[in-house]
Amino acid sequence: MPGISLVVCVSKEQDLLKRLLRDTADCYDDLVVVHDGPEAIDQDTRVDQLVAEYGGRFFVRPRSFQQESHWPFAWKQARNAWILRLDADEVPSTELKNWLQAFCARPEPDKSTAGYTCIWPLWDGQRTVTKYWPNGRIFLFHKDRVRFFGMAEQVPIPDGKFEALQLILEHRPTRKSFGFSNLLLRKQAYHWRRVIAQSLLGKPTDLQCWRWTSEQWPEIWEEIRQRPFRTAFYRLMMWPLFNMRQMKRVEGRVILSAIAFTGIHHCLVALMYWYLRLSRSNT
């Protein structure tokens, strides 16, 4: 029977983490929490004590303003091969929790199965506003069947396949989980775009890696490196149309700020990459 390690990377977020650990207590048998920066042990943010209360192991890593750079370290600490990757501001639905409990009681899945994805509904700050979109959120995977490099917004790449489940993982931050304010007013979004652009100036192997040995970038990033302006324009114009078609099909309606988000974001990443590349060539 497969065991599950819940791995969470946080930056303070004590109240959100407490909610997550409370709601998932019966879904794993190993807990690893990594904190981005030393603030975890400040007097007002004793995240380490909270993790200890739930029988977990706690690690403090250098501040990087992202979680992806910590994942290879965190996965190495996990005692089980199956990694439950949840964020502090997420809440599994009852059906998803029941599925996780049943998963641990079943035989080990076939080796061709690298992991599982779920539905990740939009959140307006008070309630979910979609039922089936977006989907494809990787929430459980076998750490020896995926490869990864630690760049912001990069996801594990499977050796085999991810099985799509019609189960819900609710994303419940203290703000809206989508919208133009997240894209244009949130400082973290600007930081992530710069981190991605700076990473693309080098090789993926320059980053913290998990079973990743290739110096070649996946196509989604290599297109930005090779043709930043063309890629920026294409994703700005075409990705919202793809999202609109999918959202209309599964939800029966369209939320403009939701379908436009990824296209605008990747357009800005491509332009930031072009700017940094130009600046480096002029020095």
Going residue by residue through the chain, which has 283 residues, state the pLDDT in tens, using 9 for 90 and above.
799 999 999 988 889 999 999 999 999 999 999 999 886 566 556 888 999 999 999 999 998 889 999 999 999 999 999 999 999 999 999 999 999 999 999 999 999 999 999 999 999 999 999 999 999 999 999 999 999 999 999 999 999 999 999 999 999 998 898 888 888 878 888 999 999 999 999 999 999 999 999 999 999 999 999 999 999 999 999 999 999 999 999 999 999 999 999 999 999 999 999 999 999 887 7
Whole-model pTM: value is 0.94
Q: Specify the CATH number for 4-171; select among 3.30.70.270, 3.40.50.150, 3.40.50.261, 3.90.550.10.
A: 3.90.550.10
Q: Is 99 exposed, middle or buried (0-12, 13-18, 19+ CB in 10 A)?
A: middle
| Phi, psi dihedral angles at 279 (to 5 degrees) | -60, -40
Q: What are the boundaries of each domain within the chain?
A: 4-171, 180-281
Q: What's the CA angle centered on 281, arms 276 and 283, to 5 degrees?
A: 95
